[in-house]
Amino acid sequence: MSYDLLSNADQESQHYHLDSIWYADTQNEIFQSLMQAMSRPGSIHNLESRLGKSNTVTAVLATLSDAQVTACNHDSLITDEDWSLSQCQTVSADKAGYIVCDGSLPCSINPSQGSLVSPELSGTVIVSVKKLANELTATSQDDRLWRLSGPGVDGVIDVGVSGIDSSWIHQRENWNSEFPLGVDLIVVSETSVLALPRTTKVECLT
């Protein structure tokens, strides 16, 4: 079945409350932000005005998912109700198109890195962190300052990520060591999103 998403106009005279992230217009806006984030690694996009009562992780998953998408709610960050609405097919992390993880925990997944024929069939990891900023002073051991370079970055760009375990960047290096195979990361904070495609080089400054 091919189907149409609920449009924001459908919110009128409904019997139920559905957060704005489940409507097509909002998802289009979030998708635009994700496209920008992917094409300009290191750029931080604020989604706060589009979230309603939902969190950023759910909003990103809602935007990317439909009944054809395979996903893994690895650290149970998405509630059962929202997971049901996303219509994702639940699979294990190594088979999932999208894996939702808590960045504060050590990385314990092994996503698909695609194949040489179809590197696009790799998994994309949505990592939840505490905070994203263009500059961040390290105040705790989970605060990182990353220097990014590569396609889409004008020279280098520094980003601060708070609340991410150091194992994530080490694992990412392993996953992306045999280009074009690799794993793309979407890092989300409470309000913002940043993307790390497999082509982006990340240097940990702290």
With binding defined as CB under 8 A, does residue 4 bind other proteins?
yes
Q: Which is nearer to other proteins, 3 or 179 (CB)?
A: 3
Closest by CA to 3, choosing from 19, 24, 26, is: 24
Shortest Cβ 22–other proteins spacing (Å): 6
C-alpha–C-alpha distance, residues 142 and 53, integer Å:
27
With binding defined as CB under 8 A, does residue 2 bind other proteins?
yes
With binding defined as CB under 8 A, does residue 179 bind other proteins?
no
Single out the segment in contact with other proteins by CB under 8 A; choices: 13-21, 139-147, 159-167, 180-188: 13-21
Q: Are 112 and 78 in contact (CB under 8 A)?
A: no
Does 180 sit behind a cis peptide bond, omega within 30 degrees of 0 on the bond before it? Answer: yes
C-alpha–C-alpha distance, residues 141 and 139, integer Å:
7
Shortest Cβ 59–other proteins spacing (Å): 14
Q: For residue 116, report the phi and psi dihedrals to the nearest 5 degrees.
A: -60, -35
Shortest Cβ 76–other proteins spacing (Å): 19
Longest dimension (CA), the chain: 53
Of 18-47, binders to other proteins (CB under 8 A) are 18, 22
x/- track of binding to other proteins for residues 79-108 (CB under 8 A)? --x--xx-x---------------------
Query: Which two three-digit tokens encode residue 25?
Result: 């217009």
Sign of CA dihedral 148, 170, 132, 55: positive
Shortest Cβ 40–other proteins spacing (Å): 31
Binding footprint of other proteins, residue count (CB under 8 A): 17
Which residues sit at the interface with other proteins, rule CB under 8 A? Answer: 1-6, 10, 13-16, 18, 22, 81, 84-85, 87
